[in-house]
């Protein structure tokens, strides 16, 4: 685990180029945007279908770096769904940087490997929830409905 992946480590600046055309597409009326960050193309496709079905406008990023760059360019989603295990900045390194940019943005960690690092991130960051993979549409619906009531940061 690199120092930048350590929970509580200072975020390091990230610079990547992103095509702004995809970011600037307007959401449909009444369709909140959800930024989904996952390097797995099948997971992106499945999640996009599920989010559209539930009435959301999904925006996809295949890495933590791409997600942060998209947010830096002005995207303001209603929520981020964040995978943990990705090349480059994994979810554990992306979350503190995301928090530095947008401290009140709800984040739902969607991961197939719930370990102590994941539990620590959920426990120590406000408005962060956990949805273990695999999950069903009903699980996603429930988690999206709960994200507004997730409590404040714990003393960690």
pLDDT tens digits for range 18-65: 333 344 333 455 688 999 999 999 999 999 999 998 889 999 999 999
Q: Summarize pLDDT for 100-143 with one digit per residue, the tens.
A: 999 999 999 999 999 998 999 899 888 999 999 999 998 998 89
Domains present along the chain, CATH in parentheses: 30-149 (3.40.50.2300)
- What pLDDT does residue 5 have? 43
Query: Which string of b and e fits 54-69 if b means at least 16 CB within 10 Å?
Result: eebbbbbbbbbbbbbb
Q: Which residues are CB-contacts of 118 (< 8 A; sequence separation ≥ 6)?
A: 84, 92, 109, 111, 130
Q: Which band of pLDDT confidence, cut at 50, 70 and 90, is reported for residue 10?
A: very low
| 82: region left, alpha or beta (phi > 0 left; psi from -120 to 50 alpha) | beta
């Amino acid at each position: 685990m690199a120092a930048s992946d350590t929970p509580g480590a200072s975020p390091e600046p990230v610079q990547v180029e992103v095509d702004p055309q995809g970011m600037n597409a307007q959401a449909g009326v009444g369709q909140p945007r959800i930024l989904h960050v996952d390097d797995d193309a099948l997971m992106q496709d499945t999640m996009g279908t599920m989010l559209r079905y539930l009435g959301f406008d999904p925006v996809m990023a295949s890495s933590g770096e791409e997600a942060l760059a998209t947010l830096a360019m002005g995207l303001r989603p209603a929520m981020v769904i964040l995978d943990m295990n990705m090349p480059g900045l994994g979810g554990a390194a992306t979350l503190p940087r995301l928090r530095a940019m947008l401290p009140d943005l709800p984040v739902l960690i969607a991961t197939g490997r719930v370990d102590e690092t994941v539990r620590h991130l959920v426990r120590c960051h406000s408005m962060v929830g956990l949805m273990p993979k695999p999950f069903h549409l009903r699980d996603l619906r429930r988690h999206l409905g709960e994200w507004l009531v997730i409590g404040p940061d714990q003393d960690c």
